[in-house]
């Protein structure tokens, strides 16, 4: 499915989501206002959507979605499992392996994997190459993931950065990225960026009901760390809180002060994607 998620539109590729596995459960503060859980609940009201009314965000495998990438010839960047976490402990191991084997079968595409559970991914990849996919008839891949798999971790605060980035270093991906979304506080990853093992950093504010504001200073700090290290920086959005104080009808928006700046809950569209007057859309080469 074509996606509006900005960082999935890698130059030279069509941006889409692919959800052969959906569902997740709360693991850290960034999960509090999960957009995927909200969407799953909305979709559960549509017959045949694949999200049952009872526990719509429970982990499940969708057998009818496995061949989606194989049928596409146009080079596509797939954000894999945008509606869940592929490495959730309830996801069957063979389903995880089928994602990797699909990537082997489809070298024309990119597969963007983002997880809050890189330790589980690392455990799986210790056995990589031992389990060819009987459906796709894919051969074992060897010690390294194919070049068309980009692997990322979600880091919403310093605690999660310190916890999730070390396992990411050990994952043998051609490209590794960090997603600070929702960015809830300052994150210092200078030591990480200096290694040259991180190929992109994504930043974004929280959206939806109950969205917490992102301090522009937090985004600036992350941008400056990336620029100093020569790492591509991508600002997905400012979230729900921006610089616009009034609606088109003249209604004043609720406001907070962060870092000496006043932010207004004006909605994602008005908050926009500008940081100090510029859009940041940098990708790995």
| Structure confidence by residue, pLDDT tens digits, 36-75 | 999 999 999 999 899 999 999 999 999 999 999 999 999 9
What does the alpha-carbon distance between residue 219 and residue 60 come to, in Å, rounded to a whole number?
Answer: 35
Is the distance from CB of 115 to CB of 154 less than 8 angstroms?
A: yes
Helices 118-125 and 93-105 sit at what angle, rounded to 10 degrees? Answer: 70
pLDDT the model gives residue 123: 85
What does the alpha-carbon distance between residue 152 and residue 202 come to, in Å, rounded to a whole number?
Answer: 10
CA angle 229, 125, 225 (to 5 degrees): 10
- pLDDT digit string (tens) for 4-38? 999 999 999 999 999 999 999 999 999 999 999 99
Which segments of 81-195 does DSSP mark as H helices, in order? 93-105, 118-125, 158-170, 190-193
Please give the structure tokens belonging to residue 198: 């991180």
Helix (H/G/I), strand (E/B), else coil: 76: strand
pTM for this predicted structure: 0.93
What does the alpha-carbon distance between residue 67 and residue 225 come to, in Å, rounded to a whole number?
Answer: 40
Mean pLDDT, 10 residues at a time, the chain of 285 residues: 95 98 98 97 94 96 97 97 98 93 95 97 72 43 76 98 94 93 98 96 96 98 98 98 96 96 97 97 95
């Amino acid at each position: 499915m074509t996606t509006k998620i900005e960082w999935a539109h890698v130059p030279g590729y069509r941006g889409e989501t692919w959800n052969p596995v959906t569902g997740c459960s709360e693991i850290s503060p960034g999960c509090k206002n999960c957009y995927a859980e909200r969407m799953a609940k909305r979709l559960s009201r549509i017959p045949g959507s694949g999200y049952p009314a009872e526990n719509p965000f429970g982990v499940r495998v969708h057998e009818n979605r496995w061949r989606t990438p194989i049928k596409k010839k146009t080079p596509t960047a797939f954000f894999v499992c945008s509606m869940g976490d592929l490495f959730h402990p309830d996801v069957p191991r063979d389903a995880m392996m089928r994602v990797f084997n699909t990537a082997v079968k489809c070298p024309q595409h990119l597969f963007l994997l983002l997880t809050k559970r890189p330790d589980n991914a690392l455990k799986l990849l210790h056995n990589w190459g031992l389990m060819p996919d009987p459906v796709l008839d894919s051969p074992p891949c060897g010690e390294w993931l194919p070049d068309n798999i980009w692997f990322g971790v979600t880091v919403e605060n310093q605690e999660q950065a310190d916890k999730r980035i070390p396992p990411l270093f050990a994952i043998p991906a051609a490209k590794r990225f960090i997603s600070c979304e929702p960015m809830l506080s300052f994150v210092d990853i200078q030591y990480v960026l200096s290694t040259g093992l991180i190929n992109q950093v994504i930043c974004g504010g929280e959206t939806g009901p109950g969205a917490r504001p992102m301090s522009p200073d937090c985004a600036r700090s992350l941008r400056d760390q990336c620029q100093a290290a020569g790492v591509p920086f991508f600002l997905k959005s400012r979230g729900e809180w921006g610089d616009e104080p009034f609606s088109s009808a003249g209604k004043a928006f609720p406001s907070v002060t962060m870092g000496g700046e006043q932010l207004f809950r004006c909605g994602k569209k008005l908050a926009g994607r500008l940081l100090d007057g510029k859009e940041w859309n940098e990708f790995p080469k």
